Structures are given as C-alpha cells and as structure tokens.
C-alpha cells in the first residue's frame, strides 16, 4: 500500500514538473546560412516573422556569427521592427565566441520582422534569438516563421 502511494506521488510530481516546464518560455532561436546563389555578393538576407502575445512590453534580439562556415571579414547583423520599419539592430563577428549583446526596444503585442544580413561577400552562418518580454522581464511564448531565405 505504501509503495502504491509513493508511486502515485512520484507520478503526480513528474506530471506537475512537465506542465511547469512546458509553460516556461525561452528565447526563440533561428539558425541559418546567408548564401550567395548563384554567385558571391552582399545581397544575401534572411527574414523571419514573429508575433508577440498580449502582455508584451519589450522585444529584444541578438545574433551570433557561427563558425561552421568561416567568413572572417564578415559581420552578421540582425535587425527587427514592425510595419516594415527596422527599429533596432546589433551585430556579431567570428572573432568572438559569444553572441552580440541583446538590443531591446519597447514593444506591444503585434507582429514584427527580424532580418539577418552580412557585411562581406561569401557565405556565412548565424544563430539569431528573439524574446517578447512582459513587465516582469519574463519571456512570453512566440515562434519565428521564415519569410525570406537567400
């Protein structure tokens, strides 16, 4: 009887931990490659769309220039904004092993565009992160949807 009670309590705890973990939001991450097809150029750009839910008071983003594809002269840039207007940007290079600093703007519950670009020819890879934050600086659930992939 005691074993059955302990087993039931363990299952209840596991279920509760799973529910809490599923409600915890984190930064939304998108990775990609800025390729130059059919020939090398600066024109490569990736664009993502995300919608911040009700309760959003800030949006922030950052970028990391990954090292799987080495393009030392290039910086990768991320910018975001709404209504087709970029309101914030930051950048990173392969000379660091960390992401760029977060760039944060006051925001509301609406749809935003996130654009990733580069500063030199040849392909480059990146990881971009975005967060919609509430007034307690807690990340709210969102997701990045690809719009342009060049």
What is d(CA 148, CA 150) in angstroms, rounded to the nearest whole number? 6
pLDDT tens profile 86-131 = 678 999 998 888 999 999 999 999 999 999 999 999 899 999 999 9
For position 38, what pLDDT does the model report? 74
Count the Cβ atoms, other than its own, within 10 Å of residue 41: 11
Pull the structure tokens for residue 53: 């839910």
Q: What is the pTM of this model?
A: 0.78
- DSSP letters spanning 119-148: SSSS-EEEEEEEEEE-TTSPEEP---EEEE
CA atoms within 13 A on the CB side of 61: 32
For position 18, what pLDDT does the model report? 36
**Across 62-81, average pLDDT:** 93
- What domains, with CATH codes, occur in the chain? 26-149 (2.60.120.380)
For position 2, what pLDDT does the model report? 58
**Element of type H or E holding 89:** strand 85-93
For position 60, what pLDDT does the model report? 96
């Amino acid at each position: 009887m005691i074993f059955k009670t302990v087993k039931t309590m363990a299952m209840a705890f596991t279920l509760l931990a799973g529910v809490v973990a599923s409600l915890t939001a984190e930064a939304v991450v998108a990775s990609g490659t800025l390729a130059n097809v059919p020939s090398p150029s600066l024109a490569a750009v990736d664009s993502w769309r995300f919608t911040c839910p009700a309760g959003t008071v800030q949006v922030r983003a950052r970028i990391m220039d990954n090292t799987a594809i080495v393009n030392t002269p290039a910086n990768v840039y991320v910018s975001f904004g709404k209504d087709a207007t970029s309101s914030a940007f930051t950048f990173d290079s392969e000379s660091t092993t960390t992401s760029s600093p977060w760039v944060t703007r006051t925001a509301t519950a609406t749809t935003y565009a996130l654009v990733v670009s580069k500063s030199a020819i040849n392909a480059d890879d990146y990881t971009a992160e975005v967060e919609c934050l509430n007034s307690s600086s807690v990340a709210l659930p969102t997701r990045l949807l690809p719009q342009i992939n060049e």
